[in-house]
Amino acid sequence: DIQMTQSPSSLSASVGDTVTITCRASQGISNFLAWYQQKPGKVPKLLIYAASTLQSGVPSRFSGSGSGTDFTLTISSLQPEDVATYYCQKYNSAPRTFGGGTKVEIK
Amino acid sequence: EVQLVESGGVVVQPGGSLRLSCAASGFTFDDYTMHWVRQAPGKGLEWVSLINWGGDNTYYADSVKGRFTISRDNSKNSLYLQMNSLRTEDTALYYCAKSAYTSGWSAIDYWGQGTLVTVSS
């Protein structure tokens, strides 16, 4: 099975900073990758699908890139409401594995 | 408005069985692949299982294969997860989730609020 590895597992940044989260697949998955945001005590929310397509209603400061095995989620100008754990997920085949998550905090 | 409402979570002893249900509304249920995803307390998301629109294709995580069975009743707009031979490591909040597009290969765009399963003696 394909493994999904996220890094870092946590980060702390200041408001206005650019934050980058990486997700690596153990085998190529083309662009079948999604990013989710889960705020504390809340249900996950889809941010990005097809590696770089922003879900409707998601602020434009979120962006995704990559293809094959290496993917990034970038938050430009971090806001206090972005405090959350972010997960990547592959969906090219089953199992639809999630990454381990990246917890983003404000410094 | 899409709504997914899970039920059936309880405290159960190791080795026991449980059936989770998910009532769906606000979309054409039988057009979409559906998923179960779980989250152990304080841990990350773990994909559990999926079932295609017609119910004839199902997939499972290795951790539950042979113990859990996903099913659906399109006439009732309902998704189910039969959980047998439960283990303490199955303790988690179980989410019902909807694929974003009618194509089977898509991300998840809606999640229920979850139902808590606790496996403990």
Tell me: the pLDDT tens digits for A23-76?
999 999 999 999 999 999 999 999 999 999 999 999 999 999 999 999 999 999
Q: Which residue of B108, B113, B116 to mutate against A (max A Cβ within 10 Å)?
A: B108
pLDDT digits (tens, 9 = 90+) for B49-75: 999 999 999 999 999 999 999 999 999
Instruction: Name chain A contacts of B62, Cβ cutoff 8 Å.
Output: 1, 95
B50:A43 CB<8 A: no
- Nearest CB partner across the interface for B47, out of A55, A92, A98: A98
Contacts of B79 (CB under 8 A, 6+ apart): B21, B22, B24, B34, B36, B51, B70, B71, B72, B96
Q: Are B90 and B74 in contact (CB under 8 A)?
A: no
List Cα–Cα distances, B30 to A29, B59, B100, B101, in angstroms: 27, 17, 13, 12
Whether residue B102 has pLDDT greater than 90: no
* A55 reaches B (C-beta below 8 A): yes
Say what the pLDDT of residue B104 is: 72
Interatomic CA distance for residues A50 and B47, integer angstroms? 18
* A100 reaches B (C-beta below 8 A): yes
